[in-house]
A = this chain, B = another copy of it.
């Protein structure tokens, strides 16, 4: 229970559990079983119990899990119970603006604290209460402030250099919307959101035959 490496795939499910527990709390639920939670999430009860067992024993036998208590434990495990996580945002095009305007980050305990762009037309402007700074000043900003998370919302061509700058500046977790593959040093997490790739892979299941074949691919619900 103590010195095994916890699989990333397990870590990635924790936010899902935490989110659903938040909803349950909102519905006034005090306790929930792995059975019912799994049913709501499309996950097996055994999966949930096994995942949680990596971190400790949070349930009460015969009763299930205390909804708010477990949610707090999960957020604590994820490191989300301290102060708000500060992020820099690079790129204030349409997508960057949507990121800034999206309330979900704030609610989740994340906050964009500084915004950068390379477009002279944007630099100096105010977008959603944030002064847009020249991306050229990003390195010095990172040096001063040690922000550990970043969001990249720049065009593909610009992304590699932006990501390098973030990494060099000590940013350890990067969420990129740019469709480019890059490798980053050990210890840095880079995750990409690429809606086009999602659509492309889903297209496979739309029974269009490929070339001459007519095959029947059918598969199950995937909630990512």
Residues of chain A at the chain B interface (Cβ within 8 Å): 6, 8, 11-12, 14-16, 18-20, 40-42, 76-82, 85, 87, 94-95, 97-99, 101-102, 104-105, 107-108, 110, 148-149, 151, 172-173, 175, 179, 181-206, 208-211, 217-224
Closest to A110 in B: B199
Q: How far is the CA of A151 from the CA of B202 in the complex (A)?
A: 12
Tell me whether B148 and A186 are in contact (CB under 8 A): no
- Which residues of B have CB within 8 Å of A199? 85, 87, 105, 108, 110, 149, 173, 175
Complex A-B, nearest 5 residue pairs according to Cβ-Cβ distance, in ascending order:
A79-B208, A173-B202, A15-B200, A98-B98, A15-B197
- Do B203 and A80 touch (CB < 8 A)? yes
Chain B residues near A220: list those with CB within 8 A: 186
Copies of chain A in the complex: 2
* 15 contacts across the A-B interface (CB closer than 8 A): A11-B204, A11-B205, A15-B196, A16-B181, A20-B181, A85-B199, A104-B196, A108-B196, A172-B205, A173-B205, A182-B223, A185-B221, A190-B223, A191-B202, A194-B224
The answer to whether B173 and A77 touch across the interface, beta carbons within 8 angstroms, is: no
Give which listed residue, B78, B151, B203, contacts A200 with CB less than 8 A: B78
Task: Kindly state the separation between the CA atoms of A148 and B204 in the bound complex, as whole angstroms.
Answer: 12
* Residues in chain B near residue A8, CB distance under 8 A: 201, 219, 222
- 8 Å CB contact of A175 from B87, B151, B202, B219: B202
A85–chain B nearest beta-carbon distance, Å = 6
Question: Across the two chains, which residue of chain B brings its CB closest to A82?
Answer: B208
Chain B residues lying within 8 Å of A196, measured Cβ to Cβ, are 15, 104-105, 107-108, 110
Bound-state CA distance A94–B102 (Å) is: 8
- Residue pair A175, B203 in contact (C-beta under 8 Å): no
CA distance in complex: A186, B218 (Å): 8
With A196-B110, A199-B105, A206-B172 in contact, do A188 and B221 touch (Cβ < 8 Å)?
A: yes
Cα of A38 to Cα of B99 in the assembled complex, Å: 32
Q: Is the CB of B94 within 8 A of A200?
A: no
**Nearest-CB residue, chain B, relative to A186:** B220
